[in-house]
């Protein structure tokens, strides 16, 4: 594909990094420093305004996809509209697909939505996507990551095995999982393992479990403590992410919610919307304030300010003072492993949801949902099989599936199935697959 990416910040850069090995990528970036960084990739970099019709008209011919990822909503929307108008006005040019990153709630009310009537095929709100992800994690107290597939029929949950866990030293086959659940992978240090029944569970393992959502509800009893009667949650920072998240959990009767926000005017604005939350005007790094609010009794502390460094400090203070779980926002991708290395239970990034949605449009035929995990080392992909797919009509034990990949679940109509060796995939089946990055291109061949 030929892809134009407008904006080479964190999101744009990582989309270009993911797409450039197998696609022709052009980046338009007006900030010199970001443009220089992008030149490290195998892409063409043009310095300028990505919404400039003159620049776009010179490079749009033959382009399949335009991705506008600057930090300004209006620039992204105008760039998409301009690209649509130009390609529609040129005889013989194919119409381009467009994706815009937006943050203003006036434009979007869900993490991913279509605004085709104004020239944007897909609007992605990273902040709302991140808030939705964290809200899902809060619903599973022992989890450090949660994703949904097949329109909610399949759930992926990642658990961290603490040194004190009763599971340490046990074999995988000793896990008391329902028949419709499967352990997809284990992340151990820097290694990715597709486990077998006799593999031993070790302290600090991170286990990915996939299954029916209703069967996954009881996994907290297997991997950690039971759900507390009321979840005490503290959110530090009430910008876009903090506010979206607070709105999602404010109506949950099982949550006692507190927010700490430095801006007094923002506190007043938020208080008019949230009915049940306690909103405190203060600094999330203020030890006295944290102690006064009994942070040691908090089930979850979530630091989602606009500063990665402040989020790290707030989370470390929360952990040190006794909070059971701490979650920190990290916009810079190179901070994600660092945060978890120093003891943060989970580091989350608005970037990943955006990158996943763009990759879904570019990776190949049949992809419905895709999520990267463990810093893009592995992916869980949902394919829809078609009559022409090579995987259709054969028992799975007769299919030479690549190493480093595992079929987790198959959704057939209303049925959700963990497939065994004699299982045969049919046309229209939705297939959820765990794959290491090295095996993805091989998997795609089975669904063409």
Q: What domains does the chain contain, in order, with CATH numbers? A: 2-124 (3.40.50.720), 130-136+146-223 (3.30.70.1450), 231-350 (3.40.50.720), 353-446 (3.30.70.1450)
pTM: 0.72
Please check whether residue 66 is in contact with residue 50, taking contact to mean a CB–CB distance below 8 angstroms: no
Please check whether residue 363 is in contact with residue 370, taking contact to mean a CB–CB distance below 8 angstroms: yes
How many C-alpha atoms does 171 have within 13 Å on its Cβ side? Answer: 6
Q: Tell me which DSSP letter residue 369 carries.
A: E
List the beta strands (DSSP E) in 151-230: 154-160, 181-188, 191-193, 206-211
Residues β-bridged to residue 373: 378
Q: Which of 125, 126, 147 is nearest to 374 (CA)?
A: 147
For residues 368 and 356, what is the distance between their CA atoms, to the nearest angstrom? 11
How far from each other are the two terminal CA atoms of the chain, in whole angstroms? 16
For residues 119 and 100, what is the distance between their CA atoms, to the nearest angstrom? 10
pLDDT (tens digit, 0 to 9) for every residue of the chain, 448 residues total? 899 999 999 889 989 988 888 889 999 999 999 999 999 998 999 999 999 999 999 999 899 999 999 989 999 999 999 999 999 888 778 888 999 999 887 777 777 787 888 888 889 888 888 888 888 777 776 777 788 887 788 888 888 888 888 889 999 888 888 878 889 889 888 788 888 888 999 988 888 999 888 887 777 677 765 544 568 999 999 998 899 899 988 877 788 999 999 999 999 999 998 988 999 999 999 999 999 999 999 989 999 999 999 999 999 999 999 998 899 999 887 788 888 788 888 888 887 777 777 776 666 556 666 677 766 678 888 888 988 888 999 899 888 888 888 899 999 988 889 898 899 999 999 999 998 888 888 888 888 7
For residues 77 and 335, what is the distance between their CA atoms, to the nearest angstrom? 29
| Pairing of the two strands 415-417 and 44-47 | unpaired
Q: Report helix, strand or coil for 279.
A: strand
Please check whether residue 225 is in contact with residue 141, taking contact to mean a CB–CB distance below 8 angstroms: yes
246 conformational bin, left if phi > 0, alpha if psi -120 to 50, beta if neither: alpha
């Amino acid at each position: 594909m030929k892809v134009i990416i407008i904006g080479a910040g964190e999101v744009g850069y990582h989309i270009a990094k993911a797409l450039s090995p197998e696609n022709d990528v052009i980046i338009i970036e007006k900030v010199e420093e970001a443009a220089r960084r992008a030149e490290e990739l195998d892409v063409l970099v043009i310095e300028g305004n990505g919404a400039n019709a003159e620049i776009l008209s010179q490079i749009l011919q033959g382009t399949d996809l335009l991705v506008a990822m600057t930090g300004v909503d209006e620039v992204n929307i105008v760039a998409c509209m301009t690209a649509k108008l130009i390609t529609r006005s040129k005889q013989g040019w194919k119409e381009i697909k467009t994706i815009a990153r937006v943050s203003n709630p006036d434009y979007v009310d869900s993490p991913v939505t279509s605004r085709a009537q104004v020239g944007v095929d897909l609007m992605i709100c990273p902040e709302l996507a991140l808030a939705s992800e964290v809200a899902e994690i809060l619903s599973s107290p022992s989890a450090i990551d949660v994703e949904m597939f097949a329109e909610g029929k399949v759930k992926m949950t990642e658990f961290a095995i603490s040194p004190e866990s009763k599971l340490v030293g046990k074999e995988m086959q000793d896990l008391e999982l329902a028949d419709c659940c499967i352990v997809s992978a284990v992340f151990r240090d820097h290694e990715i393992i597709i486990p077998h029944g006799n593999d031993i569970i070790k302290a600090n393992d991170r286990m990915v479990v996939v299954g029916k959502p209703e069967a996954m509800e009881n996994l907290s009893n297997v991997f950690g403590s039971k759900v507390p009667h009321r979840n005490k949650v503290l959110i530090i920072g009430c910008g876009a992410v903090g506010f979206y998240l607070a709105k999602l959990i404010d109506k949950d009767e099982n949550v006692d919610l507190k927010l700490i926000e430095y801006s007094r005017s923002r506190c007043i604005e938020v208080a008019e919307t949230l009915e049940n939350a306690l909103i405190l005007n203060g600094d999330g790094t203020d030890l006295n304030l944290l102690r006064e609010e009994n942070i040691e009794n908090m089930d979850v502390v979530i630091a989602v300010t606009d500063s990665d460094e402040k989020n790290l400090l707030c989370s470390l203070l929360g952990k040190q003072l006794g909070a059971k779980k701490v979650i920190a926002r990290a916009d810079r991708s190179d901070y994600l492993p660092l945060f978890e290395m120093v003891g943060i239970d989970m580091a989350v990034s608005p970037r990943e949801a955006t990158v996943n949605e763009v990759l879904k449009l570019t990776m190949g035929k049949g992809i419905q949902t895709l999520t990267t995990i463990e810093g893009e080392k592995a992916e869980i992909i949902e394919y829809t099989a078609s009559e022409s797919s090579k995987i259709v009509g054969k028992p799975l034990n007769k299919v030479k599936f690549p190493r480093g990949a595992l079929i987790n679940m198959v959704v057939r109509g209303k049925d959700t199935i963990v497939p065994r060796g004699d299982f045969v995939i049919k046309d229209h089946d939705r297939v959820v697959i765990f794959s290491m990055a090295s095996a993805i291109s091989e998997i795609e061949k089975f669904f063409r």
